Homo-oligomer: A and B are copies of this chain.
């Protein structure tokens, strides 16, 4: 499932610094589609993406899937503030993660209000992300949702002006509460309008030619999804 990589503490120290210079971080690698933790499983660690991408999801009783979030390099996830995870986490592509034991955080937070403050800040950021997504899912059309998604990704994983989507259309659909065909159709529509250019045949490498156009469509409900 995963293999120990290293315990190098300063390859990408954002997590460590944000969480107060903790030692005892470990690195693991997960191959594509590997499960990182399961819904209702014990929440023993929190995670930071070093390389790759992660999706967290819930399965509904009728088989439908809800993707709660995509986690990209630098992002921290798995902080559920409970003994059990509320989502399942999987690697979207081959992924390297840094792990921190949750009980260490808990222990530190018990006596250190600064650490407690950091945990609260992270949870609040999480809450705001989810509140924004409620607006999107509750009130917006398919076109608006896809536009908002593209804007979000344009801000989060663009390198050299190119969005390199790690996830497939179905993942996006389950994130936006749409059928994957609808996502595909809206991508095509934006392409036809000249808002997007595709670089590869699978159309996951995307250049946003008209960000203002997309923003105009995504409108009100704020594109600040993280």
Contact = CB atoms under 8 A, between A and B. Distances in A.
Contacts of A81: 120-121, 124, 127
A130 B133 CA distance: 10
B220 A138 contact: no
Q: Which of A64, A82, A116 counts the most B-chain CB atoms under 10 A from its CB? A: A116
Given A124-B123, A126-B127, A128-B86, A58 B113 contact: no
Interface stretch (A26-34, A44-52, A104-112, A181-189): A104-112
A176 B139 CA distance: 9
A109 B113 contact: yes
A216 to B, nearest CB: 11
A226 interface: no
A133 B136 CA distance: 12
A16 B119 CA distance: 23
B120 A60 contact: no
The oligomer's copy count stands at 2
A8 interface: no
Contacts of A111: 113
Contacts of A133: 134
Contacts of A64: 139, 220
A127 B113 CA distance: 21
Contacts of A109: 113, 116-117
B123 A116 contact: no
A130 B134 CA distance: 8
Contact of A177 (B124, B138, B220): B138
B128 A120 contact: no
Interface string A76-92: 00001110001000000
A61 interface: yes
A112 to B, nearest CB: 7
Contacts of A166: none
Interface string A149-161: 0000000000000
